[in-house]
Structure 1
Amino acid sequence: MKTSFKANFIFLFTILLLVSCSRKKDKFINRNFHAITAEYNTLFNGYNALDAGRKSLNDGYSDNYWDVLPIERMQISDEIILPGQSKNSDFTKAEEKAVKAIQKHSMNIEGKERNPQIDEAYLLLGKARYFDQRFVPALEAFNYILYKYPASDKINQAKIWREKTNIRLDNNELAIKNLKRLLFVQEVEDQDLADATSMLAQAYLNTKSVDSAITQLQIAANATKSNDERGRYQFILGQLYNQLGYKDSANIAFDKVIELNRKTPRIYMISAYIEKIKNFDYSTQNKSELLELLTELEEDRENRPFLDKIYHQKANFYLDNNLDSLAITYFNKSLRTRSKDSQLIARNYETLGNMNFDVSEYKLAGFYYDSTLINLEENSKPYRVIKRKRNNLEDVIYYEEVAKVNDSIIKLVKASPEERLDFFNAFIEDIKAKEAAEKEQAEAEEQLANLNSAVTSVPNNQTNIGSRSAGLPGQASTFYFYNPTTVAYGKNEFLKNWGDRPLEDNWRWSSKVKSGGGASSVAGANVLALASDEERYNPEFYISKIPSEAKEIDSISKERNYAYYQLGLIYKEKFKEYELAKTKFVNLLNSNPEERLILPSKYNLLKIYEALGENGEAAIANNEIISKYPDSRYATILSNPDLVSDTDADSPEALYEALYHQYENQEFAEVISKSEDYINRFDGEPIVPKMELLKATASGRLFGLEAYSKQINNIAVTYANTPEGIEAQAIEANVLPKLANTKFTVANDSISSGYKVVFKFDEANKEQIKTFKETIDKVLKNIKYYSLSSSVDVYNPKTTFVVVHGLKNEQVAKTFDQLLTKEDKKKIKQPYFSIASENYQIVQIHKNLDAYLSKNNK
């Protein structure tokens, strides 16, 4: 009996289940079956997947507190997603569940949806697409709800999410219009009101309407049920008030964030404290209370994840109160926290760089600016500002190093044998002390490595065999770059092969040696690396390396003097550091400089005396220049200051402009000759590298690639740290290899970019060339069906070409005279040859016309 009852019950339940599964019958049991199944199965799993995806999205997102925060925490990626792809598998799963709910449980009967959960499915579908950053498909889902389910209880949410999507699609004006209509027409309350007004605030922010955004954000902060959102909205309000200059209102908003304490993410509270501290008025408020607050924040254990920000702000406090040593300590503390905030790291390095810059520690400042650049977005405005400042320091660092090294060498040259011996004995003791310390450290590392091996050899499932260190936490790694012994060996081998070179592009070039670029400097950089074990501890080995020949010593002195001159100019012109500039010029004049550096140094000293208000010294320098160098340009400037300016006809800039004009007119021989004269006349001035580059280019046009290559190499080495030197290095690395080809191409109309007809003249017949050019121009106008032009091209000092351009066919170029009328043939009797444009370029670059003509005649 019991068995019969159970069987009957199962049978009836199965029949009932099958009947209720139908989506075509509008019955109470059918509607509720599909509604419950959709809500508590498919949609439940879909929303779980959506929440998981949002959590992973938030975990991977980092707010930029240096700028006004966005209302919604969501990282927008520029990555292009192809159809069928997804950025997050959780959102894909949520979308699949939403689609499944629609396909399996939709009850669209007679044009009306009978399942009350389907609008929820479409809402889930739109949200999943929205967070997966597929905004157009998301918009379609939200619009479908508005079209198909106008009476839905989710209608307000659908409208809000549609406008969120419009904002992401940059349709801000449309979003503002629709959200204002929603708030005016509908009674929107609670969280829907918070969501609508917060999104309206974002749209206003996007359109730069900050006042309107503040009004809406205040409503959102009061209406939201989420303390996370309330803390964020209040913090953004404070940022907006600060942006408008209302510091009191900003501080009130930040206080509301602080009052939330643990109810909201702690980062909001810490950031609110920091923003309030930035608004601190040192002239009216109590500094001791501020320092006490900073110390309290620093010592609170809960704030450990945010010490990078707290240390940075405390460093700024000390900096504002002229406590530089404490400021430096806390900037370095902030850096040691290994912060993930790249902008904070960049500001720490930049401030340290500025502090060193202000005390004329330019080399150290340069290192800090290098670190700053690494942590800034390339090509951003802050990046360009720091990059320009760093480039200005390049020459200072280079020439200071040259001066330092060469001063040391000259000092050793002048030292007595006893002084040299004492110096190198002390040097050898330093080497021994460093090697002893390195040996002790290497032994400690080896012991740790042995312990590490012993631990990893023990069969223990919890041993981290696959990790990089493969040992206990805190143990040293046996990886090559974590072993100081092998690293030291590698460094020594590098020094042996390459010398001491900076970490930068093209480091293998000879011009990149740190110690100054001269032969003596290169040798000095490698002395220790090349020494044998016996020689390393023998002072006589080092003494033997001191230059002894007069020519070599003179070269080192000249190199040092030129570095002094360049440093004086840089400190005077670029940094306005007149005391430093004066020191360099005075040291130069006391070092028996070459004649070419004396007069410009005295003139620059005169200008420095005037800038410093040292009128007596200025008057002496003025009289000395006028009396001792009466025929110089400087004497003319000082004698007639009203008649002469820096842009007069005899200024280096004006002469360069005139020279460049001659270059454009293909007066290459004249350009080369005058360049050499000007380079000697203005030696030591910033215009010289430009003239050298112009001379090299003119030489290349007149004499070919070999002459050009030789001079470019000279510029790259001699003026390595000037813009022209850097340009020459780029030419040497990238351009010259492409110009090395001397192989003529085989004529092919489908490949060649065109053909030229060339008439050859001797350079001496300038009048004949001019007359022929005028004639050919008239003749070319009479040729039908072709758009032809002519030019005069210098080939070499003895030969000039008149070239006809615009022919596309080889055969037409070879029979150019057949294009002429009978009358014009009588005018053009000069012999010619045809050449493909590519081959003409090779001929002009390599000056190998004879090779081309002999090949062509064959």
Structure 2
Amino acid sequence: MKRYLPYTTGLFLLIALFQGCSTEKNTFASRTYHKVTSKYNIYFNANESFKAGQKRIETSIEDNFTRILPVYPESDPSAANLVKSDMDNTILRASKLIEIHSITEKPKRRKRRTRRYQEFASQEEFNKWIDDSYLLIGKAYFYQHNFLTAIDNFSYIQRKYWDGDARHEAQIWQLRSYSELGRFAEAAEVMQAIQNNREFPRKLERDLAVATADYHIKQKDYAEAIKFLDIAIDKTFWKKQKARLQYIAAQLYQELDQPAQAAEAFQKVTRMNPDYRMAFNAKINAAGVFSEHGDAEKTKKELQKMLRDKKNREFRDQIYYALGNIYSREGNRNAAIENYRNSVASSYNNQFQRAQSSITVADIYFDIQNYREAQAYYDSAMIIIDNTYPNYDKLSIQYQSLSNLVDNILTVEREDSLQHIALMPDAEREALIARLMREEQEKQRDLESLAMQGRTDQGYYRSNRYRMGMGADQQGAGWYFYNPQTIAYGQVTFQQRWGQRKLEDNWRRSNKSTVSMDDIAFFDETADSSQMIIRVEDPLQKEFYIQDLPLTDSLMAISHDKIRDALYNAGKLYKSEFLNYKRSAEAFEELLRRYPNNIYQLSAFFDLYDLYELLGDKQKSAHYRNLIISKFPASKYAQYLQNPNFFVEMQAKTDSLNQLYEEAFRSYRSGKYRNVITLSQAMKKMEPDSLMVPKIEFMEAVAQGTQTNMTDFENQLKEYIKTWPKAEPTPLANEILTLVQDSALVDYQKLIDMGYINEEIQNEELLMAQRMENDEFGGKFSYEEDLLHYFVIAYPLNAAVNLNRLKFD
């Protein structure tokens, strides 16, 4: 028993000690216990998890040197998902610390209460790690891009722990949170509060300068941002961080068009011994800046030397891009295009440079009206970029317009080629197909040989892997769908192959009557195979080449229809989307030359009249004006050309007609049939549109029937039904005719009582106008999506307005 006495005594002492360390008691022992446990246990683990998230961002997010680097890598949109688990763990542990180690109980009152004791006892919290935990939680929410919750935490620290050290750092993080949200007025208030705080510690001045620079960069106030970057650089100890800030300052000088300062800043970066990627980019940018105001030939030689250096192999895309910029500034467009194209071709693992080079060369091709090449390079860029890219909306619209145009151009070329082959003599066509099959067989044999020798082209493979964010430099970048570039790649490539598809069964087939061999497995066993057209996908089979040939009269007619439609669509796109009136006129002229009496003839005539007016060719414009008037004299186009006020007068006539119709309808409903007859005859003289005529005729037939006997009324209804068998009021006429034939209609007022005077003969156009009268525009605009809408942009003649910019924006 004596042997266990020391252990028993120790156990009781430990129990007593732990009871004395409860958060419900505020003693020296309890405070010490909870502070030590907080610091070296829970807070340590929470902070380690936080630092792990920071490290993950540092190693996973690749800097895009084609744009201004973000001051904070954690601002990247993909960072939130990247560190979610680490930050969740941080929040959980820090919250646990607050829950079990917070001491709010007041200490035992002393007889001698000195000033120092009174200040100590007046505290609301007696564990100094509690406010640090709230700060850590706020930081974790910030890294998750939950900025509003982060702001709540930082504000709480400043209210609750106004005398603690954490409040100063909380202000800086609060400033950063407001900046990320774009709430710059509130961010400015925080900065003002910090400036008025004389107790703000000097050790945080560097962090404040960086946060303030970020605040100004987000507002594109680059000159002010540079001032704070300079302060931050002077107060930064670590070279890696200093080099990043210096690089950003250099980029801002470039944005401000201050090449001398930019070159000097880039040179400072190279002297700070940064990583090779940043050093290379600084060197390339410095060379580019020097070439603007220095010896361009010398710069080109230096860049050519860098191209030959094997160490720069993975940076050749950037070197070619820099060379392209120099040639572009010199006005040597062909050399610039060549280097930009080389940049795209050699850009395997730098998707940012690939996008920038693709867009740059696409813009040049677009300016010189080489729309096919422009579309191809925009396509390469759109696979990579997302909606955060500068001018993304404009690029997206331009790319879509170009894609529509190129699709129509390719349709014409494809159908022309197919028709040419289809019209070949059988022997010649067979020989052509046999040659194509031999070439395909040789190509596949060569590829197999390369594979056997292990010399397959890895460049294309790497290019696509990096374009999809799966390159070697992307490890740790998170799940596929956390990366916006990979999502954008998937969306664009899907649409390129399949187009816009509705989410439904058998979504692969826009034409449900056709199917490829690969898709047969998706069909039910009960499907009617006689309705399927199976496509051959193997280029080594003869059927692969003849399956699209228009070898019959009906298929040839369909092919011609495709060419006709494509030429018309191309003409419209050239005119409306690209303002290329010459190309538009060429497309319409070719349409009329190849298909003189096509369904678009009248529209094409008018477009050509309008185009030649815009081009200043009065002779051709007059030619098509006369064609419209002579061939289509009753058309609205012809009437407009002879009377420029035609549409204004037509609108006035329509308004008058609508008023008469409404008055006739009210008379019809109230039984004033003589007035209905008079109004109906007046409306028919005004030549209403085809939708209104059967309704007017119906009201007139019923009104006249009331003025005659039942036999004449029956004959009038039969005549109406014969004339308008599919008109909207015809079912109503049939019902009234049945009443007359069954002698069930004694009094015409019964028509109203029995519900035969209803809204079916109401003027829908007038109803639509009445519904729109209460909108914000007073009924001036139509909301019907099926109608063609025109927009007018008015601006002063002396204003410097870019019409293309207005159109796209």
For residues 543-692 of structure 1, what are the structure 2 equivalents within 5 Å? Answer: 632=627, 649-650=640-641
Q: 2 CA distance for matches of 1:21 and 1:557?
A: 92
1:147 to partner: Cα distance = 4.7
User: In the alignment, what sits opposite 1:234?
Assistant: 246
Deviations 1:70-95 (A, max 9, x none): 433324769999xxxx9733323333
2:259 is the alignment partner of 1:247: yes
CA change 1:407–1:163 in 2 (3 A) is closer
Which stretch shifts more, 70-79 or 551-560? Answer: 551-560
User: In the alignment, what sits opposite 1:762?
Assistant: 698
Which letter maps to 1:438? Answer: Q
2:46 is the alignment partner of 1:51: no
User: In the alignment, what sits opposite 1:92?
Assistant: 88
User: In the alignment, what sits opposite 1:286?
Assistant: 295
CA change 1:832–1:131 in 2 (3 A) is same
Q: 2 CA distance for matches of 1:632 and 1:78?
A: 61
Q: 1 CA distance for matches of 2:164 and 2:576?
A: 73
Deviations 1:38-81 (A, max 9, x none): 32233222211111122234445455555544433324769999
Which letter maps to 1:261? Answer: N
1:222 to partner: Cα distance = 1.4
1:761 to partner: Cα distance = 6.7
2:435 is the alignment partner of 1:429: yes
CA change 1:650–1:32 in 2 (3 A) is same
User: In the alignment, what sits opposite 1:438?
Assistant: 444
User: In the alignment, what sits opposite 1:853?
Assistant: none
Which letter maps to 1:290? Answer: T
1:195 to partner: Cα distance = 1.0
Q: 1 CA distance for matches of 2:281 and 2:46?
A: 35
1:575 to partner: Cα distance = 5.3
For residues 380-779 of structure 1, what are the structure 2 equivalents within 5 Å? Answer: 381-388=391-398, 390-391=400-401, 394-395=404-405, 397-399=407-409, 401-402=411-412, 405-406=415-416, 409=419, 413=423, 421-422=427-428, 424-438=430-444, 441=447, 503-505=498-500, 508-509=510-511, 632=627, 649-650=640-641, 762=698, 764-765=700-701
Q: 1 CA distance for matches of 2:511 and 2:450?
A: 38
CA change 1:586–1:22 in 2 (3 A) is closer
Q: 2 CA distance for matches of 1:91 and 1:656?
A: 66
1:598 to partner: Cα distance = 10
CA change 1:168–1:405 in 2 (3 A) is closer
Aligned alpha-carbon RMSD (Å)? 6.2
User: In the alignment, what sits opposite 1:257?
Assistant: 269
- Kept in 2: contact 1:190–1:223 (CA 8 A): no
CA change 1:366–1:191 in 2 (3 A) is same
Deviations 1:633-667 (A, max 9, x none): 5899xxxxxxxx99982279987887788889999
- Kept in 2: contact 1:309–1:334 (CA 8 A): no
Among residues 731, 740, 755, which one is paired with 1:834 in the alignment?
Answer: 755
1:126 to partner: Cα distance = 3.5
- Kept in 1: contact 2:259–2:290 (CA 8 A): no
Q: 2 CA distance for matches of 1:532 and 1:105?
A: 74
Instruction: Specify every segment of 5 or more residues in structure 2 that has no aligned partner in the other structure, as ranges.
Output: 108-120, 455-471, 473-495, 502-508, 516-532, 659-688, 708-722, 733-746, 765-809
User: In the alignment, what sits opposite 1:459?
Assistant: none
User: Aligned to 2:344, what secondary structure does the other structure show?
Assistant: helix
2:237 is the alignment partner of 1:225: yes
1:409 to partner: Cα distance = 3.5
CA change 1:632–1:92 in 2 (3 A) is closer
- Kept in 2: contact 1:49–1:90 (CA 8 A): yes
- Kept in 2: contact 1:58–1:73 (CA 8 A): yes
Q: 2 CA distance for matches of 1:385 and 1:647?
A: 39
Deviations 1:304-344 (A, max 9, x none): 66665555444544555431563254233244x14443xx4
CA change 1:571–1:800 in 2 (3 A) is closer
Deviations 1:535-584 (A, max 9, x none): 7799xx99x9867x8x9989978986887687677667865768867877
TM-score (norm 1): 0.55
Deviations 1:514-536 (A, max 9, x none): xxxxxxxxxxxx99959999977
Q: 1 CA distance for matches of 2:539 and 2:189?
A: 82
Which letter maps to 2:641? Answer: D
1:799 to partner: Cα distance = 7.4
CA change 1:115–1:509 in 2 (3 A) is closer
User: In the alignment, what sits opposite 1:173?
Assistant: 185
Which letter maps to 1:504? Answer: G
User: In the alignment, what sits opposite 2:37?
Assistant: 37
Q: 2 CA distance for matches of 1:29 and 1:6?
A: 23
2:122 is the alignment partner of 1:186: no
2:172 is the alignment partner of 1:160: yes
For residues 820-831 of structure 1, what are the structure 2 equivalents within 5 Å? Answer: 830-831=751-752
CA change 1:225–1:392 in 2 (3 A) is closer
User: In the alignment, what sits opposite 2:663?
Assistant: none
User: Aligned to 1:650, what secondary structure does the other structure show?
Assistant: helix
**Matched-pair identity in %:** 21
User: In the alignment, what sits opposite 2:211?
Assistant: 199
Deviations 1:390-431 (A, max 9, x none): 425635642553366337746975x7x6xx745652442232
Q: 2 CA distance for matches of 1:15 and 1:407?
A: 94
Q: 2 CA distance for matches of 1:595 and 1:23?
A: 91
CA change 1:141–1:385 in 2 (3 A) is closer
1:433 to partner: Cα distance = 2.5
1:194 to partner: Cα distance = 0.7
CA change 1:592–1:225 in 2 (3 A) is closer
TM-score (norm 2): 0.58
- Kept in 1: contact 2:247–2:265 (CA 8 A): yes
Q: 2 CA distance for matches of 1:835 and 1:338?
A: 75
Q: 2 CA distance for matches of 1:592 and 1:559?
A: 12
User: Aligned to 2:73, what secondary structure does the other structure show?
Assistant: coil
Q: 2 CA distance for matches of 1:309 and 1:38?
A: 51
Which letter maps to 2:297? Answer: S
Q: 1 CA distance for matches of 2:699 and 2:432?
A: 68
- Kept in 2: contact 1:119–1:154 (CA 8 A): yes
User: Aligned to 1:216, what secondary structure does the other structure show?
Assistant: helix
User: Aligned to 1:93, what secondary structure does the other structure show?
Assistant: helix
CA change 1:768–1:207 in 2 (3 A) is farther
User: In the alignment, what sits opposite 1:677?
Assistant: none
User: Aligned to 1:762, what secondary structure does the other structure show?
Assistant: helix
CA change 1:602–1:340 in 2 (3 A) is closer
Larger RCO (CA within 8 A; separation ≥ 6): 2
User: In the alignment, what sits opposite 1:786?
Assistant: none
Which letter maps to 2:298? Answer: E
Q: 2 CA distance for matches of 1:256 and 1:553?
A: 69
CA change 1:211–1:647 in 2 (3 A) is farther
User: In the alignment, what sits opposite 1:461?
Assistant: none
- Kept in 2: contact 1:172–1:203 (CA 8 A): yes
Q: 1 CA distance for matches of 2:262 and 2:328?
A: 24
- Kept in 1: contact 2:23–2:101 (CA 8 A): yes
